[in-house]
Amino acid sequence: MVKTAELDPSRNYIVGFHPHGVLATGAFTILCTEGTGFSSVSPGIRSHLMMLHWSFWVPVFRDCIMSVGLVSSDKESAAHILSRKGGGNLLSILVGGVQEALNARPGAYKLVLRNRKGFIRLALTHGYWGEGSGAALVPIFSFGENDIHDQVENSPGSWLPWFQDQLHKSTRGSIPVFYGRGVFQYSSGLMPYHRPITTVVGKPIEVQKTPHPSQEEVDRFHQRYMKELGKSLRTPQTQVERPQRPTLGDQLKATQRRGSSKMQG
């Protein structure tokens, strides 16, 4: 994780996390586990990650995901977290949502952001500290998020995107058909590939609290947000050479060669 600025624990924050990826692995690892030592590099900050509301309908599973900081993706949950006294609350939203997950492909990033402005309105309307202060906006970009899984081709016109679209309309969610490596082998499975993920935490954008923001105000802060996100993409620490991951075809050929060698031996 690369931080470009410190987060004041007396403030509240709304984070836009990009990209979603197939399973939002980077967001979950950083914000819901201590895999990158988030609590030590951002002391005093309690992180929360929004998740589709129907995930909280399952008994026991609901308690498990809530225990690590996952919250339902609705306005009531956001208002509750951002209105807590004392500051130090960070609410992360996977802005691109399901549409971005279905577009996740290794080696490319197709962000869904231009018309996603609800999180900007949240930042303007919420916040409790200081007269007229709102929740600061923080852009986060996770390099390598799209590289850890492959996804079955879902080009427009085939049955798969039609099914995924219908599922999205009825449940607000969908299912990327993905694959990766296995637990004990690399040729097939659902586990993520061994690929690095570099997450850049951008500079907080100060927001003036506005109970009833106009569309013009929302648009203005949205433009500022995209500009700060662009700066995160150009952070020197992210300009690293990433090793090429073998394709599925290469993996299958390697498996066949190993099998042939054993037979000959």
Domains of the chain: which residue ranges? 2-264
Over the chain (265 residues), the average pLDDT of each successive run of 10 is: 88 93 92 89 93 87 92 90 86 93 90 93 73 76 94 84 82 84 86 91 88 93 93 67 49 52 50
Confidence (pLDDT) at 253: 54
Confidence (pLDDT) at 238: 55
Contact at 8 Å (CB) between 141 and 18? yes
Query: Closest Cα partner for 14 from 150, 148, 121?
Result: 121
Alpha helices in the chain (DSSP H): 25-32, 38-41, 61-67, 75-82, 97-102, 118-125, 159-171, 215-233, 248-264
Strands 46-51 and 89-94, bridge-based pairing: parallel
Query: Closest Cα partner for 22 from 184, 205, 175?
Result: 175
CA 23 to the chain's CA centroid: 8
Confidence (pLDDT) at 118: 92
% of the chain residues with pLDDT over 90? 45
Question: Average per-residue pLDDT in the chain?
Answer: 84
pTM for this structure?
Answer: 0.82
Confidence (pLDDT) at 202: 92
Confidence (pLDDT) at 21: 93
